[in-house]
Amino acid sequence: MPNQRAEDIASQLSLLPASAPVPVGGRIYVGTCSWAEKSFVKSDFYPPGVRSASDRLRYYAGRFPTVEVDASYFALLPPAYSRRWADETPPGFVMNAKAYGLFTGHGVMIKRLPAGFAGLLPARLRDAAELKLAEVPEEFRNACWDAYREFLAPLGDAGKLGYVLFQLPPGARYAPAVLDEMARWREELAGRRIAVEFRHRSWSQHPEVLDELARLGVAYVMVDLPDLPWLMPPVEAVTSDIAVIRFHGRNREGWARPGASTDQRYNYAYSGEELRQWAGVARRLAERADKLYAMFNNHVGGAMARDAGALADLLERA
């Protein structure tokens, strides 16, 4: 039986195309914000015989032209990971990476730091549960940037790195200091495409932000979120040679609940009419950018793959 299972897996993987699916119109990349999120893995997207992490990535890359790496937000991953991903995906496949949470004002867990990094911290911080950017010394911060660049390098060298996503916390309000920090992002990741996602509504009240992003060459991320007073509304804009839309779903109850889990927030399936409306937006944005990325994050029950496929079909029929 084990041998039969291995043969089944090999048979499934042998059916993968020699190249990634072609973007819609050659420049609209539709995909999901993870291929390995726990509830997504448990959904019906992957056949029963596709079980290992490597097989799941290869299977995914035969069905969508792009994906986001979510794990790089939680930890400084070693370059061995990205080198393997570059080797295991077909030509033309694009991987976008979330920036390490420390860089965007989130707390990061000390226990997930690479070996030796805790020694760069002052003694008072080494026993803390998590760290934030304002607390750490410059030496530690520089080491984190070095490690993150090393992680990106194999994807960049293989021509498979799309954008690096800097996603601000939902409670991060408009502040000029954040714009100043973006200049450092550009400096630290020179030569990489950077995209920024605002989730607090206050950013929509400062149109000069879009001018500053254009000046820096940073891509603005258009978001689809529930219509709640504190969340960013969809603002249609292009500030670099790429445009990005991220679909978080419209689960008002989940987002309004204090302390809600990610499954509670992102449990949403888009209707056909909602996707048709977004297809129109995607076409308009694609006319103003060299590439458009439409990325679905409503992972619960595999909805993000179904919705991504449905949007791609709508765009193909246009």
Residue 5 confidence (pLDDT) above 50: no
Specify which residues 195 forms β-bridges with: 165, 219
Residue 253 lies in a domain: yes
Nearest alpha carbon to residue 239 among 206, 257, 215 = 215
Question: CB–CB of 70/297 below 8 Å?
Answer: no
Question: CB–CB of 298/255 below 8 Å?
Answer: no
Backbone angles phi, psi at 10, to 5 degrees: -60, -40
Query: What three-state secondary structure class fits 38?
Result: helix
Residue 301 lies in a domain: yes
Residue 10 lies in a domain: no
With bands split at pLDDT 50, 70 and 90, how would you rate the model's confidence at 19? Answer: confident
Describe the crossing of helices 53-61 and 79-88 by its angle, rounded to 10 degrees: 50
Length of the chain: 318
Question: CB–CB of 190/196 below 8 Å?
Answer: no
For the beta carbon of residue 264, count every other beta carbon within 10 angstroms. 14
pTM of the model as a whole? 0.93
Q: Where on the phi/psi map is residue 217: left (φ > 0), alpha (ψ -120 to 50), or beta?
A: left
Question: CB–CB of 100/73 below 8 Å?
Answer: yes
Nearest alpha carbon to residue 220 among 238, 247, 241, 207 = 238
Residue 2 lies in a domain: no
Q: Could you read off the pLDDT of 159-211 as tens digits, one per residue?
A: 999 999 999 999 999 999 999 999 999 999 999 999 999 999 999 999 999 99
Nearest alpha carbon to residue 152 among 88, 91, 93, 78 = 78
Residue 6 lies in a domain: no
With bands split at pLDDT 50, 70 and 90, how would you rate the model's confidence at 229? Answer: very high
Q: Could you read off the pLDDT of 104-153 as tens digits, one per residue?
A: 999 999 999 999 999 999 999 999 999 999 999 999 999 999 999 999 99
Residue 15 lies in a domain: no
Q: How many angstroms separate the CA atoms of 170 and 266, rounded?
A: 14
Residue 3 confidence (pLDDT) above 70: no
Tokens of 231: 């969340």
pLDDT value of position 201: 97
Domain that holds residue 60: 20-317
Q: Percentage of the chain surpassing pLDDT 70? A: 95
Instruction: Give the domain CATH number at 31.
Output: 3.20.20.410
User: How many structural domains comprise the chain?
Assistant: 1
What element of type H or E holds 4? helix 2-14
DSSP 158-225: TT-EEEEEEE--TT----HHHHHHHHHHHHHTTTSEEEEE--BGGGGG-THHHHHHHHHTPEEEEEE-
Residue 12 lies in a domain: no
Q: Could you read off the pLDDT of 233-282 as tens digits, one per residue?
A: 999 999 999 999 999 999 999 999 999 999 999 999 999 999 999 999 99
Arithmetic mean of pLDDT, 74-79: 98
Average pLDDT over the chain reads 94
Question: CB–CB of 23/289 below 8 Å?
Answer: no
Q: How many angstroms separate the CA atoms of 50 and 178, rounded?
A: 42
Residue 11 lies in a domain: no
Give me the residue label for tokens 């015989």.
Answer: 49
